[in-house]
Structure 1
Amino acid sequence: MRASSSSLFLRLMAAISAVLLAGAALLAYAASNYAQRAAENAYDRLLVGAAEQIRETLRIEDGAITTDIPVSAFVALSLSRQERIFYRVVGPGGETLTGYDDLPAARAGTPGDDLWDATYRDTAVRIATLRQFMAGAPQPGWATVVVAHTTASRAALVGDLTLRALLLLGIMSVIALAGVAAAARFALSPLHRISAALAARQPNDLTPLDVEAPPEISGLVQAINRFIARLSDRMEDLRHIIDDAAHQIRTPVTALSAQVDLLQVETSPERRQHQIERIAARTAQIGRLANQLLSQTLVSHRARSATPERLDLRDVLRQAAADAVPAALDRDIAVNFDLPEDPVWIDGDPVTLREALRNIIDNAIQHGARSRLRLSVRREAGTIVAEVADDGPGIAEQHWPMVTRRFWRAAGDGEGFGLGLAIAADVARAHGARLEFARLTSGDFAVRMVFGKDAA
């Protein structure tokens, strides 16, 4: 099993924390901007209010413009001891009526009412300029009221508002993260229940998993149950194979042991030679049985696990014949191929198909063919047929339904084990094909593996 470097909970929390962090950063930026605008607006209103109060005091007395600066105009702006306030009243002719002579009266290019930032006496200030038309003055024209205020208190207010917003945002983020952690734990709890249910099982318990799970995880439970079902089927197949192997091998092994015991006490050279020949034959019989049992196990395994490949059935039949035909050479059996020139394509597992055809050919050589064996592949009525025909007596028709059962043997058949055709039938079913038997018009007996249209 591949182990992950971090748990699902930690990865989930990391992703959510990243989102919260990004959101908090955006909110912090927005809060800072809002604090900046709020402080600017508040102090600008106070600054303009102070200039407005001074402008309201402008009047003409004895032909001259006079003003009486109200103390209340600067009260709100001078709450901090570090703040400084500058003012100037300029007459229509540009003369300073009161205040600081060097305080700028207007921003370049903006002769009317204005709010602007400047540097005065090496200090950053915010300046408000208001104008008042003085019609009764000796020289009618616009009088200008200028009020400047240092910006330290503005910056302090911005910092204070931003800090409060960030503090509140931090508290909310911590609460949100704690809530998300609790929610994530709760959301992942079905996985912990599934894990606990599997860990508490006995090794031989292959019943379906019965755990309550939300729809998002029910698919996982179903997948686990499908896997358990497949594993249960495999274990059942394995149990049958082991039972069959134990049952089938016990008798010949017992017989072999008895023959060895007889050989040990036999004194006659002729009878000892006879016993040795019987032991050799019994050993060969046990070897063939073991090979067929292994072949059955291989077929059972690959039927569920092998990935189908695109195969030329002619090549599969040739390979199967190459494995089985050497036995025919000992009996002087003529082997003929009847194959089309063009490829005959099917989708299947090359290993199990070759094993099935080899068993059919081997069965024909061992129990049927007298002098000839014909191997053919053809297309017939929308199907694909692989056929093994021999000139032997074949299988009696009343036995055709039984010969594909495992370990079934006709009475008097002392050589076979009843596995070869059963294996071939299993492979055929796994490939959507069927195993058929036929008596040909020539008198030959044929075993066919017929693939339907969907298998071709």
Structure 2
Amino acid sequence: MFKRPASIRARLLAWIGLPFTALALLALASSHLLLTRQINDTFDDMLLNAAKRLERRIYTVDGELHINMHYFSVSTLGSRGQGKIFYRIREVGGPMIAGFPGLGDAPGHLEKPRFFDVAYAGNDLRAVAFTFPFERSRQRTEIEVIVAESKEARYILANEFMLTLSGLMAVGGLLAITLALLAIYFAFAPLNAVGQALRQRSPNDLHPIKGEAPREIQPLIASINQLMQRIRRSIESTQQLNADVSHQLRTPISELRALTELSLKASQEPETRANLAEMRRIAEHASHTVQQLLKYAKTRSELLDDTRLEALDLTEICQLACTQTATGIYQKNQELAFDMAPGQAYQVLGDPIMLLWLIVNLIENASVHAGGQVPYRGSIDLALAREGDAVVLTVSDRGTGVSEATLSRLTERFYRDNPHAPGSGLGLAIVEQIATAHTATLHLANRPGGGFRVAVAFPALRESLPDAPSRAS
């Protein structure tokens, strides 16, 4: 399986979005480290200030140390009522004055305040410890103070900062992506305009693309114009080849048929006449095949110039087709009926010669193949009808029909469902090409009561639709 290539828009978004995302993640990680450090330093300073306030509350009574806690409570500005405070005050080398005896000691010596992490009563704490001198009964002693605070407030504050920062970055990212999409849209606008102009063109419009365009896409436009010029030359060569083939093949085949007819009139020997009759049949088949091949080549949709299409009334085309085929139809003891609603317009946009070929091919196809292995002796019905915004041409017979398994193959070149009848196998292939060139829909089906039915739905001209304003209005 081939991997579907990514669009240029997706690649640009990836090149813009991925570095931005990487930088945003790096910025978040750096911000988290810096904010955590700054928050910890701020909380440590407040914790130390809270611990030093205890220093001023120690006093002596009859030589014993006491602490005044009536008008003082140990707290920090950052706890916001969410943390827990533990403390311990004791005389160095002596008894504890107040606090929690199980609170762990600080590591190392306390020449200066020391911050450390400690666990107590299932809490993860940040603690500060320091010592200060104290006069007791004219004796100098050292007092050790440890104040510890749980880390919930630090975590909550850091998380709030990071959440706010992440939200701002997310908004900035969305804004950047929006601006990138707008920039990409406006950058691709000239390409989209060229693509829209090409999509609105007829498949046969091979004129160069004109108009101002940014320098970046001018080489692309030049390449497209060169390609269309080569295609136009190829089509012109094909059309010229068709004309040459038409002249070079039809003339000798016609001469061969005429010579065969003269020989048949001059010869009386049965064997010779049988051979000449077979030659005449082969020449007629070759002539018919050449004509069908030329029609097939000329009806290719890419050879049809939409600018030369004209408004036509299918009624007139159908009447002309009936006139051309009526003699052959009646000679085979068949009937040809044309049905249409009186006073109804059946106008379509098309090429009159191609549409005539289409109708004649459908009538002749029904005449030759409707009976299957035996000659057909029934009626061939030609009808025009309006179905919504479409003009539907129907050609049907009351013959044997075709196998349901072969319906989808009837428009293949040189495929013949009935090998017992003469033909080139190109009739319905030509019909399909002409229908495609006129943006019509071809539908092949067996009739419920027996026989075969071909329906071609053409887009109706706007002027011919009911209640549509005319060009003069």
TM-score with structure 2 length normalisation? Answer: 0.48
Q: Which has the larger radius of gyration?
A: 1
TM-score with structure 1 length normalisation? Answer: 0.49
